[in-house]
Chain A
Amino acid sequence: MPNVSRRLLPLVPVVVLAVAILSFPSLAPNPYILSSGIVVLNYAVLATAWNFVGGFTGYISLGHGALAGLGGYATGLLVTKAGMPAFVALIAAAVLVAALAVPLGMAALRVRGASFVIVSIALVLILLLVFQSWASLTGGSRGLVVPRPFPSLLRPEHHRVFFFLYGGLLALALLTWWIVDRSRFGLGLKALREDEDKASALGTPTFTYKLIVFVLSATFTALGGGLYALWFGDLDPVFQFSVLTGSYLVLMALLGGVRSLYGPLVGALVVGTALEYFKGSFGNTPLHLVATGVLLAVVVLVMPDGVLPALAAGWSRLRRTSQTSIREVTAAELRDQRTSAASAASGSARSADSAGFAGSAGSAASGAGATSPGTDAGVSERASAHERSGGGGGKPDSPGRRDQEARR
């Protein structure tokens, strides 16, 4: 039974999330709350998309607002200028942004750390200028009006449909993140997050991996931005290409936990709801920015890994039943081990089959996996291998005994 419950445990958040998404439109007391729910879900999609790059590679992008803006404008322009059906335009826009992300990523991912952050900010600012200046195509500062895909629907129904569409997109983003997370590709990405040079020295094609995950992230970000364009129906370069959007996404992912599947979603629920509350209660004042800054400072100081990893760490501390010592063997212990190994060897030499045993242990030592820690065979193998090497004079420490020492 415990095994079954452990296997079913990962399904709990899936069920909770599904129930929450399916029931929220019915529970929302008015269309405004429902539209706030869409904004929060939009943040959740964008933060999860951001987490493909930020979570797996550790590259902090403040420029994801630009990718969302590109997705939004591409969708809007394909609908208004090319006359494409809304959802075909959405997919086409995501493909276009993914294609554009290849050269963007090739340029941006050549630099690391603070340099990458600056490049990502530059991307937002350049695109803001382009989309503001190119008024004949984008509408410039007047904005771009995108026709609603379901003109016959009343506003509450329109919100309801888009809430479910965002829910589906979020589920797809989470599923993709989960697949990457458990894959060899994901392990390679996590390795490069920890130490890029080391990962490369072990054979991971780090640049290719970073580029693939950047394009994946850009695609989901563009889908989020495109869906926003179809839902909201009005795009303004100042809001679409804003460094603030990227900063919010970073804050959400950090708050929830960049190394966890649901971290950005949890962060989006907290920060997105708080932003909507501040804007609703205090208008468009800088107050929400102050609150955001304070929250970011608290998160970094108190829970640098985010809420979910902090909870998981606390839970595993409670459940931990055995302790593993990392203590190394001291020189004195090594001497004792050598003495006891020597007496064990002389004892076995007195036994009738001593010569045969030594021979088999010696040959076994040349094959990986032959050593069995914690067994006399392990001790003998190590000892005979060491003797063949002629190093050290006496017998070496045995991994088996060392393990036993460490476990005490």
Chain B
Amino acid sequence: MTLATENLRKAFGGVVAIDGATVEFQPGKVNALIGPNGSGKTTFFNCVTGMIRADSGHVRFGGHDVTRKAPHAIARAGVGRTFQLCRVFPRMTALDNVLAAVRPGGFPKALRGARNPDEIERARTWLTRLGIEHLADVEAREMSWGQQKLLELAGVLMAEPETILLDEPAGGVNPALLDRIGALVRELNSEGRTFVIVEHNMDLVMSISDHVVVFDRGRPIAAGPPSVIRTDERVLGAYLGV
């Protein structure tokens, strides 16, 4: 399913964070969204996922207009996300962090036990796959930053989204984990998931992305495969000022 925006605009007082952004991400691919600090990437993510309401424009997912939908409705439609500053449920165990992403269903289904054996097994599978299964019973607040990043991703994956938005997955992680995250993204992408990644680490972006969109001053200034973006003069100008 294609995630796309049309003339999306968001201003905070006099600061225009997103200025009529029209973007289409490639389904089934690893898309990267790059740009200088303050270019509106995270605000764009927040508008797309309903965390903040856009002033105008449209967000479409799989052809449906999700612009005015609540964040949980967009998540249920199939768009999962992580946050720039990694967010986990600190006083819940890693296992509960992942189980919290299970669709509860309506009432009285939601009153069923949260510890369904099938769901626990699925949650443990994701923890295993992300290499943190041994921390299943540890509270998230006791885990390291990198492990919290993996846990956050495990929670998102448990919800089985079709498209996953990662906001700076490499931020503050060690080289070993960076390798691991890159490999995971490619691995999960090969299973059919679409990724949109906001990232400043150009080595990671260029090595794992199929399609790169470059933002500057709240709007896309270039889009294409990494090999093209790498030499685009507008991109070099926006990033390096040359």
Contacts and interface: CB of A to CB of B under 8 A. Distances in A.
B101 A386 contact: no
Nearest to A185: B110
Nearest first, the 7 closest Cβ-Cβ pairs linking A and B are A399-B131, A389-B186, A194-B89, A184-B104, A369-B125, A203-B75, A386-B183
Contact of A187 (B72, B80, B96, B134): B96
Interface residues on B, range: 35 or more
Given A187-B100, A194-B92, A330-B176, A200 B144 contact: no
A184 B99 CA distance: 9
A403 B112 contact: no
A5 to B, nearest CB: 21
Given A186-B114, A197-B51, A331-B175, A407 B146 contact: no
A202 B183 contact: no
A268 B146 CA distance: 42
A319 interface: no
A396 interface: yes
Contacts of B156: 202
A180 B131 CA distance: 31
A202 B75 contact: yes
A201 interface: yes
Interface string A181-192: 011111110110
A203 B72 contact: yes
Contacts of A238: none
B144 A328 contact: yes
Contact of A204 (B72, B125, B133): B72
Interface in A357-371: 365-366, 368-369, 371
A378 to B, nearest CB: 8
B176 A329 contact: yes
Given A187-B96, A201-B81, A328 B87 contact: no
Contact of A197 (B87, B91, B132, B183): B87
B64 interface: no
A186 B115 CA distance: 11
Nearest to A181: B114
Contacts of B133: 373, 399, 403
B112 A326 contact: no
Contacts of B187: 365-366, 385-386, 388-389
Contacts of A212: 107
Contacts of B142: 326
19 contacts: A180-B111, A184-B109, A184-B110, A184-B113, A187-B100, A190-B100, A199-B89, A203-B75, A324-B134, A326-B144, A365-B187, A385-B190, A386-B179, A389-B183, A389-B187, A391-B179, A391-B182, A391-B207, A407-B134
A27 B183 CA distance: 69
B230 interface: no
B20 interface: no
B75 A200 contact: yes
B147 interface: yes
A397 interface: yes
Interface in B176-217: 176-177, 179-180, 182-183, 185-187, 190-191, 207-208
Interface string A314-333: 00000000001011111101
Given A184-B109, A202-B100, A389-B208, 12 more contacts: A185-B110, A187-B102, A187-B104, A187-B114, A191-B100, A203-B72, A326-B143, A328-B174, A373-B128, A386-B183, A391-B179, A396-B180
Interface of A is mostly: helix
Interface string B71-106: 110011000110100011111100010011111110
Contacts of B121: 369
A365 B100 CA distance: 25
B70 A205 contact: yes
A179 B190 CA distance: 41
Q: Which of B87, B91, B96, B104 has the largest number of chain A CB atoms within 10 A?
A: B104
B147 A369 contact: no
B128 to A, nearest CB: 5
A399 B182 contact: no
B190 A198 contact: no
Nearest to A389: B186
A158 interface: no
A195 interface: yes
B130 interface: yes
B40 interface: no
A331 B174 contact: yes
A388 B190 contact: yes
A195 B87 contact: yes
A268 B99 CA distance: 33
B155 interface: yes
Contacts of B115: 182
Given A191-B100, A365-B187, A403-B133, A389 B182 contact: yes
Contacts of B89: 190-191, 194-195, 198-199
A391 B208 CA distance: 7
Given A194-B90, A205-B70, A397-B176, A368 B129 contact: yes
A403 B127 CA distance: 12
